[in-house]
Structure 1
Amino acid sequence: MAPEKYRRPPQLPPKFTATPRSLVDDTRQLIERSRNVQDRIVKDVTAAAATFENVVLPIAHDDNKMAIESHIIGFYQAVSTDKALRDASTDAEKLLDDFGIESSMRQDVFDLIDAVLKNKATLEPESQRLLEKDHKSYIRNGLNVPAGPQRDRFKDIKKRLSEISIKFQKTLNEEQGGLWLTPAELSGVPDDLVSALKKGEAENEGKVWLTFKYPDLFPTLKYATNAETRKQVFIQNENKCNEPNVALFREAILLRDEAARILGYKNHAEFRIEDKMAKLPKTVDDFLADLRTRLAPGGKKEIEELLKLKNQDLKERAINDGTDGKYFLWDHRYYDRLMLEKDFSLDQEIVAQYFPLQTTIQGMLKIFETLFGMVFIEVTGDDRAALADGGKSSDIVWHEDVQIFSVWDDEGEGEGFVGYLYLDLFPRDGKYGHAANFNLQPGYIDENGKRRYPCTALVCNFSKPTPKKPSLLKHDEVVTLFHELGHGIHDLVSRTTYSRFHGTSTVRDFVEAPSQMLENWCWTPSQLRSLSHHYSYLSPEYEAAYKESSGKDDKPSEQIPNSLIANLISTKHVNDALFNLRQLHFGMFDMTVHEPGSREEVEKLDITTTYNKLRKEISQLDGPEALGGDWTWGNGQATFGHLIGGYDAG
């Protein structure tokens, strides 16, 4: 039970009790209310009388109220176990997007906002920014295009792009692909993973079902000694969402280009980057080209060293498959891991034993408490029931696995309430498949001057605990958790007047910066040691299981040894060039498809070939094309949700 002073937050958490019917009904009511606000402003205010207070402010207050409900309405499709609820969430999001497009293209509202801007009244900085951003947003949504066929076409494009985005992400979330493999084909993969996989029956008897979810995919690519298995898994994962996402991706690229040209831009990249810190595509292109020039020699050298290791490994295992001169995409995680073990005495499986998920989270929260003067109180038992406000305690979470924390400023910061943090950490059917932070309710100042507090959720996909082992994090998963938690903290500590600017709702090419800076704590010896807690100390059952699996009579040290920390930190920049060249491939592909020289060029673009050729040219790693195949062996772009979901030209 929480200390008394933390048991009654001034704001109750939201409830997750929606039904498929209520989601759509509530969405229609939100839209109607918002439309009425806009209609009333247009009816009551003339251009001559337009001010920030009677035009922009009522819309901002309505946006605040809309966000409190709409974010959660759209969130169900990423986390609900009920397909009907996910489908309704998708339908509701489409209604909201369509209304957003309609609102953003209202000439009558824009004329009033234009009048306010021209009045040049003195406003405080955030209100001035809101006015300028709103004004620019209408222009970027087509209101500088003369009314008529072109503007109508632009509106149709916006609606179709919304449909594409929703359908593309839904396909990723609900992807259920995988491979039936024999235990022999999975030789080298940790036994606890293989033993937990679904067992086959009938024609698949003796096999297990390996999914493309992260807890299955990454360990297989890292540990499977059978190169053919790694190849199969890698290629099939690249093709897991071909239908319908390949066609949707191409359609999105074409429509974005057409829309940008209607607005008078040379291409979609010019349109998108204008509103970011970089401002111009040339700034981005020059930056990426400079990175490529600097990284390429290092990547070549790293491949040479890894290829030596591969050739030595094949020789020791008497494998003569004709691939000793090539370093493949499906080789990299395996030999990168082997190099860390052989050259740096670093076994990530041993490292992971010191980072059970729950104790690692507690350690991370302590770091943030120290850094930012915060207090995290997990809401459980009677406290959870009390915050359900007459409902069931399960009403304030969307799944039984979800943890909820009330977050407060500590004594030195004034002891005020900050907001709610949710952790949804394990994979399940229909759930968002990567790691991300979702704002559920933004913070802002309401029309009565009262602060509204934010709610934010981390949605991740770490391995689930078993009777013999808790969920154990590899170091790169510790970094991922810290990164996403960084977004959550950014969301929580934000203090804005308007929800429009809350938390991570900043320019997209800054949004990752706070989390990337906070990742550095994962490479600090003192913090790594304080985060660590060997899982054998968690319970007598885990202690017995550790002794049985390790064959040792004694437990290891409770915290990670300094020698292991030193080994880990010494690997921080091992194969760093290849890691960053992989990221560079994503960025340069993004710019290539969004920055064509002409409409004809984008129409002729073979996106799949472009994706795979660029990966080879930039990362220098071989794909199936090196074995005599063509460039159409995989469709990685069809699995790349970021480029459809907001990071385009970003």
Structure 2
Amino acid sequence: MAPAHLRRPPQAPPTFTATPQSVVADAERIIKTSRGVQDQVVGSVQATNATFANVLGPLSQDENVMALEAHILGFYQAVSVDQKLRDASSKAEELMDEFFIESAMREDIFKLVAEALNKNEPLEPESRRLLEKEHKDFIRNGLGLPDGPERARFKEIKKRLSQLSIEFQKNLNEENGGIWFTLEQLDGVPEDVLSGLKKGEGENEGKVWLTFKYPDLFPTMKYAKNSEIRKQVMVANENKCNQNVPLFREAIVLRDEAARLLGYPSHAAFRIEDKMAKTPETVNKFLGDLRSRLTAGGKSEINTLMELKKSLDPKSDGQYYLWDHRFYDRLMLERDFSLDQQLIAEYFPLQTTIQGMLKIFEELFGLEFVEIVGEDRAALAPTGKGDDIVWHEDVQVFSVWNDEGEGSGFVGYLYLDLFPAKASTATPPTSTCNPASSTPAPTPKKPSLLKHDEVVTLFHELGHGIHDLVSKTIYSRFHGTNTVRDFVEAPSQMLENWCWTPSQLRALSTHYATLSPDYLKGWQEAQGRAGKDASAPAPAAQIPDEVINNLIRTKHVNDALFNLRQLHFGIFDMSVHEPASHAAIEALPVSATYNRLRKEITQMDGPEALGAGDEWGHGEATFGHLIGGYDAGYYGYLSSQVYSTDMFYTIFKDDPMNKAAGRRYRYQVLEKGGSQDEMTTLTQFLGREPETTAFYKELGLA
């Protein structure tokens, strides 16, 4: 057990004891406080004596103080099991967003900020960056427009866009659809998935309820033998949130109008201006170049998969459908690469894998993670109740410290929320991790197991958490993952490479049958059901080298199709945010465009090939990224992959656990957050400007 001082940090964690009434009241309180700070600045500072210290000083201090509390108030809508609390959280976020819009359009403060900027005082770099960004943000929020109808319309649009975003995300959070299936219809789906599905009663006796949550959806698309069932699930999933269809359309039309009011030719031009890419032309050139390089590879991969489909289904119609892909991709990996994902998952029980991941972060970055449980939770909670410092009993809490070499100081708290139906984001000094493909809950005879892609996802998401934890900035505006969108994924994408490194895969692995007698018995029973020796001794604890080698050989199998799927998202994003005219966006058939582009880019057939037309699905209505901040920015997942691959190849590939390199990465990249220009951060770390060579080499496209 860790020493007591590591289990009881000097800084108390936040509590999660809100009620529906308190959430809204707290939002109103922090709004009142912040408005008071703004009024105080305006009332006490004249244009002639406006400086960074007397204008941005109190405003940034208030922002630093309110950032965490404001985040938590909006956080409940994504994680609470109480409908009324989720609704109140959405209301609180709406109130806070309206206030942020009001603040961003206060001309009296804008004039003081402009005067402070004009004074050109000597400031340390992060403060200079804050002052310049604050000034530019006022202009981008409409204060460059004359005070009159145009500015009023712009403000009206901003408020409506905020409402649309909250409603869209609420619909996604609350989505609880699914389909009743018989077990026969789900033939092939793994037993551990089927056993976790809700059982039907009455007219649904003998059936199970398959939801559209990732732990149900992905295994079904990978393993269900009946192609009609896979098609039914895929089409239903694309139509699970159709109430968002008009919200999405209204959002892209309003964004275009707002951008044109500010003098930009499109929303894309407006959004990309302050990112690393700077212009839509740069983005379109990058996406177009990548598409041209990948298209032939995608076609070749489809041909190979189609041959596999024909060999297994001689009566097939010669088409390769969207609902075929996960199924035949898996079969190909099993057939040609001896890759058994279910077997690999046995070596990655959730809790031991997390321990292994945290150990890697400890060694690389000079950290120490101590889980807080039992009496220590209660001791940290101001209420004396340990459950009050988490939002759900399943959530794990860690105190995070610097190791002796880094000074032994307290860093912050890390939260892990790892089971279905809860999603999370992060804000300093706490950080929350929720892997995108949540894992099935454990049973007495089997722990939660991670497939390799889930191991990669979890390591990626933990990377975001570490970014927030170790960041050192003066202003919360720039802390941790608060970077430009086309860089924010790069640090976590870079860390994914550790999940493809033999030594680290071995270190992360522990066969679950070696963890307890009950697990061994459960494994032996599973062996018996599979027709194998039910009395076999437990396998070796660590994953065999042969399995690792087979896995690593598959890293880029069907990679062209994977990246073409990402390109579909990125090109659709640019298409709806860069119309030729406002009339063009008003007339755009959004769902048909989404489906048409997917067919053209991925080269896989959808229901349109069977006569369903281009409006068969409404995937844009499930695309939270484009409403939640990645608008005209989804390309960032691909462009930041360029940066992440360059960093790994240049600094870590030959020695991934090099502590000196790990510390330098912590200091020069993670600690900086968005406090300096991200291209400067990259260039300082690499010792040169970033290059695309490693990215294209990794994809086999050099």
Other-structure match for 2:430 = 455
Distance in 1 of aligned mates of 2:144 and 2:207 = 61
**SS at 1:332's partner residue?**
helix
Q: List structure 1 runs of 4+ shifted beyond 6 angstroms.
A: none
Alignment of 1:523-538 (within 5 A): 523-538=500-515
Count of paired positions:
625
Distance in 1 of aligned mates of 2:426 and 2:185 = 42
Other-structure match for 2:348 = 355
Other-structure match for 1:303 = 302
- Aligned-residue offset at 1:37: 0.7
Other-structure match for 2:41 = 41
Q: Give the conservation status (yes or no) of the 8 Å contact 2:196–2:440.
A: no
Q: Give the conservation status (yes or no) of the 8 Å contact 1:186–1:229.
A: yes
- Aligned-residue offset at 1:411: 0.6
Distance in 2 of aligned mates of 1:10 and 1:182 = 54
- Aligned-residue offset at 1:608: 0.2
Distance in 2 of aligned mates of 1:5 and 1:467 = 33
Please tell me whether residue 338 in structure 1 is matched to residue 325 in structure 2.
no
Alignment of 1:119-198 (within 5 A): 119-198=119-198
Distance in 2 of aligned mates of 1:604 and 1:398 = 44
Deviations for 1:409-467, whole angstroms, at most 9, x for unmatched residues? 00111101110000000013xx33xxx6x224x3xxxxxxxxxxx10111232211122
- Aligned-residue offset at 1:538: 1.6
Deviations for 1:175-230, whole angstroms, at most 9, x for unmatched residues? 01000111111001112211221111222111111000111000000000000000
Other-structure match for 1:17 = 17
Distance in 2 of aligned mates of 1:196 and 1:615 = 33
> Aligned to 1:626, which of 597, 602, 609?
609
Other-structure match for 2:93 = 93
Q: Give the conservation status (yes or no) of the 8 Å contact 1:521–1:527.
A: yes
Alignment of 1:464-479 (within 5 A): 464-479=441-456
Distance in 1 of aligned mates of 2:605 and 2:447 = 37
Alignment of 1:308-327 (within 5 A): 308-315=307-314, 320=315, 323-327=316-320
Distance in 1 of aligned mates of 2:2 and 2:333 = 43
Q: Give the conservation status (yes or no) of the 8 Å contact 1:2–1:383.
A: no
Other-structure match for 1:240 = 240
Other-structure match for 2:618 = 635
| Alignment RMSD (CA, Å) | 0.9
% identity of equivalent residues: 68
Q: Give the conservation status (yes or no) of the 8 Å contact 1:486–1:514.
A: yes
Other-structure match for 2:399 = 406
Please tell me whether residue 587 in structure 1 is matched to residue 570 in structure 2.
yes
Other-structure match for 1:205 = 205
Distance in 2 of aligned mates of 1:257 and 1:418 = 42
Q: Cα–Cα, structure 1 residues 467 and 7, in superposed 2: closer, same or farther, change >3 Å? A: closer
Other-structure match for 1:228 = 228
Other-structure match for 2:599 = 616
Alignment of 1:420-459 (within 5 A): 420-428=413-421, 431-432=422-423, 438-440=425-427, 442=428, 454-459=429-434
Distance in 1 of aligned mates of 2:40 and 2:358 = 46
Other-structure match for 2:390 = 397
Distance in 2 of aligned mates of 1:11 and 1:196 = 39
* TM-score, length-scaled by structure 2: 0.88
- Aligned-residue offset at 1:9: 1.4
One-letter identity of the residue aligned with 1:513: A
One-letter identity of the residue aligned with 1:330: W
One-letter identity of the residue aligned with 2:202: A
Distance in 2 of aligned mates of 1:639 and 1:462 = 21
- Aligned-residue offset at 1:132: 0.3
- Aligned-residue offset at 1:390: 4.0
Q: Give the conservation status (yes or no) of the 8 Å contact 1:363–1:531.
A: yes
Q: Give the conservation status (yes or no) of the 8 Å contact 1:94–1:166.
A: yes
**Quick check: 552-561 or 118-127, which moved more?**
552-561
**SS at 1:170's partner residue?**
helix
**SS at 1:196's partner residue?**
coil
Distance in 1 of aligned mates of 2:201 and 2:33 = 54
Deviations for 1:542-587, whole angstroms, at most 9, x for unmatched residues? 1001011113322111110000000000000000000000000000
**SS at 2:412's partner residue?**
strand
> Aligned to 2:364, which of 351, 371, 374?
371
Q: Give the conservation status (yes or no) of the 8 Å contact 1:310–1:324.
A: no
- Aligned-residue offset at 1:146: 0.5
Structure 1 spans left out of the alignment, 5+ residues? 443-453
Other-structure match for 2:699 = none
Please tell me whether residue 569 in structure 1 is matched to residue 562 in structure 2.
no
Other-structure match for 2:584 = 601
Other-structure match for 1:278 = 277
